[in-house]
Chain A
Amino acid sequence: MAQPPLPSVGLRYLAGRSFSIDPRTPSIFILPTAHGWNFVRSAAPASVPARTAGEGGREAAAGSAQQNGSWNVRKLETLAEAVPLLAATDEFVLGLPVSAVLAQRFRLPSVDPAEFAEMIRIQIEKLLPFSADEVTTDFELIEQSDSESVVSAVAIRNEQLAEIASPLLERGYIPRQITVYAAQRATTHAPSGNAVLIYPEGETLVYAVTENGKLSLARVFEGGNGDQLQIELPQLRLSAELQGIDAGSPNVLLDETCYGMRDTVQGILSSPTEIVGIELPPAPVKLNLLPESWRRRRLQLTRQAEWRKRLLWIGGGYVGLVLLLLTYLSILRFEIGLFDRRIAHDAPGTEFVRATDARWKALAPAIDAHYYPVEILLHLFESLPSADVRITGYNQSARQISVDGEANTAALVYQFIEKVKKNPDLRAFQFDMAAPRILPNDHAQFRLEGKAK
């Protein structure tokens, strides 16, 4: 039978009855089987179409992983064996066996989905001897007319659910979705029309009637051999018809492990029987029996894991930065060491030059003409901007000079100092001048001081 493709996004169902889009498609399914559980994990991004394994994909040996396309199937005897295969951030779906749930078809006198939850809760309370708080329920719409709706409702006692999932819960692994495997199989193999699905779960045989891919009625047979089928199947067919399910000519889907019953089933139900294999992966279903408290806890754990991851990244980045800085510091230290060795290596060669340089500078007033008074006076006179600037006094020690003078205007004084500073032959000195003093006749008196550089 043709399988519907997985949507590119998964659906997150919140306990009751509204849902939001989850961008991540689950990549792990834990499903009940005849031998215990199947652990189905995507070996590639989970946006692959749903499909059924061929013959070659049905032979996964217990305890061994089998690669089938992009999905691995691992057979587990108990759910506890799934614990080491999971990681804290894994998104997984837990399929429940039919024996753990109550599946019931209701015909509701309303077409308003907002009213369904309350109506179903009342109906379930009538059927089960537990309060609503002790039970988790969910439903799927099978069909709807102008005045009424037919829904498939599934309920499970919270205590029983906790007992089944206890190996996972003890390690903090909470599924993203808890559904019924029969519903998953129905959606996968018979998304439209009516079908009868027969497959083994543990030591029991499941007989599930589905409508439009939704679970309408399910029964479990202990043992389930040919003789028992002869008795039970007609009765269940009758029960289905009594509930208003058209069981006249259903599409019969028989699990490949029950191949030996094919002729018997065909004989009893008078319908052609199709053999189906394990779903890789099962088609997504809306049905979600995840209790609200689990959902909150899961959200909390997910947030904790995300924060742990973020802190790990931040810590890693910080340590990386510190290591980078320390590496840079080591490089600088190494460079300093390298420079020190080169300086020490070249030092004897430069020591003589340094000493001679110091000696030359010390003797400069005697051997460098730039320090001779006659040279300095010559260049000072060259720097006079006009005859209106007159030098009236000159003092010099070995490394310092001062020039007293007078100019007709202050502007001429500043022209003089500028020219002195720019004179290349006076560069051995650094000149400075205080503000000139203005005389009563408007002449400016100045003192120029120069220090050897």
Chain B
Amino acid sequence: MMPAWYQRMNARERVLSWVVVGTVFVLLNLWIISWIFGALGAAQKEVATRRGKLTEQALYMKERDLWTKRDEWIGKHEPALNNPAEASALLDQLKEVAGKYDIQIENPVIGSGETTPYHQTVFASIETKSPWPPLVHFLYDLQRPDAFIVFENVNLAIDGSDPTMMRGKFKVARWFAPAQKTK
């Protein structure tokens, strides 16, 4: 039943041929098994990723009403940058609130800030000197969700020459809707 080419081999050649065939067989199968387990691992990861994404999607779908309301709220309250003097108006607003609480403003600077897909910015930088309680009121009065005012930089420290006074450096920005509204 053995093929003629096999019968022509001597014992040593047969052993060697079996060693070669066995090695190739083992390597081939190792490669197959390795490939299968690799593919299984990758597939399991993909399944887990997609399952997570579906869960996230389900959560989003469930909260769709909330996000619709939030979108509407932003659309309604986010100010539009129509006036080039908005930075100056912001500084005026700061001065007004500071004046209300007898807070001394020093070194005011105004300018335009960064523009992102979500907002355009104008800012006003000021330095203040005041006791702590009026400063708290100042901070409280300035920021409201519908005012779109952001403290981009705050630095508060006790005045070295007068421990009852606080020194503040603020970069206050007002965020406006971007020129091309992101949906």
Binding site for B on A (CB under 8 A): 318, 322, 325-326, 328-329, 332-333, 335-336, 339-340, 342-343, 346-347, 349-350, 352-360, 362-363, 365-369, 371-374, 377, 392-398
8 Å CB contact of B54 from A322, A342, A365, A369: A342
Q: Give B residues with C-beta under 8 Å from A.
A: 29, 32-33, 36-37, 39-40, 43-44, 46-47, 50-51, 53-54, 56-58, 60-61, 63-64, 67-68, 70-71, 74, 78, 116-119, 136, 139-140, 143, 145-158, 175, 182-183
With A346-B61, A373-B151 as known contacts, state yes or no: A329 contacts B183, CB within 8 Å.
no
Per DSSP, are chain B's interface residues mostly helix, strand or loop, or mixed? helix
Query: Which residues of B have CB within 8 Å of A318?
Result: 29
Known A336-B50, A356-B71, A360-B70; judge A329-B40 contact (CB<8 A): yes
A residues near B71, Cβ cutoff 8 Å: 352, 356, 359
Contact A350 B57 (CB under 8 A): yes
Residues of B within 8 A of A339 (CB): 47, 50-51, 53-54
A373 to B173, CA, bound (A): 13
- A60 smallest CB distance to B (angstroms): 34
Say yes or no: B61 contacts A332, CB within 8 Å.
no
Decide: B182 and A343 in contact? CB cutoff 8 A.
no
Q: Do A356 and B40 have beta carbons less than 8 Å apart?
A: no
Cβ contact within 8 Å between B143 and A374: yes
Across the interface, do A362 and B40 meet the contact criterion of CB distance under 8 Å?
no
* A350–B116 CB distance below 8 A: no
Given A326-B36, A355-B183, 4 further pairs, Cβ under 8 A: A322-B32, A350-B56, A362-B118, A371-B150
Shortest distance from the beta carbon of A396 to any chain B beta carbon, whole Å: 4
For A368, the closest partner residue in chain B by CB is B145
> Are A366 and B50 in contact, with the CB atoms below 8 A?
no
On whether the beta carbons of A359 and B61 are closer than 8 Å, the reply is no
A366 touches B61 (CB 8 A): no
Please indicate the chain A residues that have their CB under 8 angstroms from the CB of B60 in the complex. 349-350, 353-354, 357
A372–B143 CB distance below 8 A: yes
30 pairs from A and B in contact (CB 8 Å cutoff): A325-B36, A325-B37, A325-B40, A328-B40, A332-B43, A332-B44, A336-B46, A340-B50, A352-B64, A352-B67, A352-B183, A353-B67, A356-B68, A356-B70, A357-B67, A359-B182, A360-B70, A362-B116, A362-B118, A363-B148, A367-B146, A369-B143, A373-B143, A373-B151, A393-B156, A393-B158, A394-B154, A396-B151, A397-B153, A397-B154
| Count of inter-chain pairs, beta carbons less than 8 A | 140
Residues of B within 8 A of A362 (CB): 116-119
Residue numbers in A under 8 Å from B146 (CB-CB) = 367
Within the assembled complex, what's the spacing in Å between the Cα atoms of A349 and B134? Answer: 48
B49 to chain A minimum Cβ distance, whole angstroms, is 9
Residues of A near B70 (CB, < 8 A) are 356, 360
A355: contacting residue among B57, B149, B150, B182, CB under 8 A: B182
CB distance from B134 to the nearest CB of A (A): 12
A326 vs B35: C-alpha distance when bound (angstroms): 11
Closest residue of chain A to B65 (Cβ to Cβ) is A353
- Nearest-CB residue, chain A, relative to B42: A332
Contacts of A363 in B (CB 8 A): 74, 78, 118-119, 148, 175
Q: Please, how many angstroms separate the alpha-carbon atoms of A394 and B170 in the complex?
A: 11
Q: How far is B22's CA from A114's CA once the two chains are assembled, in angstroms?
A: 49
Q: A318 — nearest CB in chain B belongs to which residue? A: B29
Closest A-B pairs by Cβ, 5 of them: A339-B50, A332-B43, A374-B139, A396-B154, A362-B118
Residues of A within 8 A of B61 (CB): 346, 349-350, 353
- Report B15 CB to chain A, min CB distance, Å: 17
Contact B39 A329 (CB under 8 A): yes
A353–B63 CB distance below 8 A: yes
Query: Residues of A contacting B118 with CB < 8 Å?
Result: 358-359, 362-363
Query: Closest residue to B141 on the A side, CB-wise?
Result: A374
- Contact between B67 and A395 (Cβ–Cβ < 8 Å)? no
- Residues in B whose Cβ lies below 8 Å from that of A342: 54
For A336, the chain B residues whose CB sits under 8 A away are: 43, 46-47, 50
A394: chain B residues within 8 A (beta carbon)? 154-157
Residues of A within 8 A of B136 (CB): 374, 377
A322 with B36: in contact, given A336-B43, A363-B119, A373-B151 (CB under 8 Å)?
yes
State the CA gap A144–B152 with chains docked (Å).
120
* Max chain B C-beta neighbours (<10 A), residue from A346, A347, A363: A363
Q: B67, A392: Cβ atoms under 8 Å?
A: no
Contact B154–A373 (Cβ < 8 Å) = yes
Q: Which residues of B contact A335 (CB under 8 A)?
A: 47
Q: How far is the CB of A75 from chain B (nearest CB, A)?
A: 31
Residues of A within 8 A of B149 (CB): 366
Q: How far is the CB of B146 from chain A (nearest CB, A)?
A: 8
Residues of B within 8 A of A333 (CB): 43
Which of B150, B155, B183 lies in contact with A365, CB distance below 8 A? B150
Q: A342 CA to B52 CA in the complex, in Å?
A: 12
Is A392 in contact with B148, judged by CB distance below 8 angstroms? no
- B132 → chain A closest CB, angstroms: 10
B101 to chain A, nearest CB (A): 13
CA distance A343 to B71 in the complex (A): 23
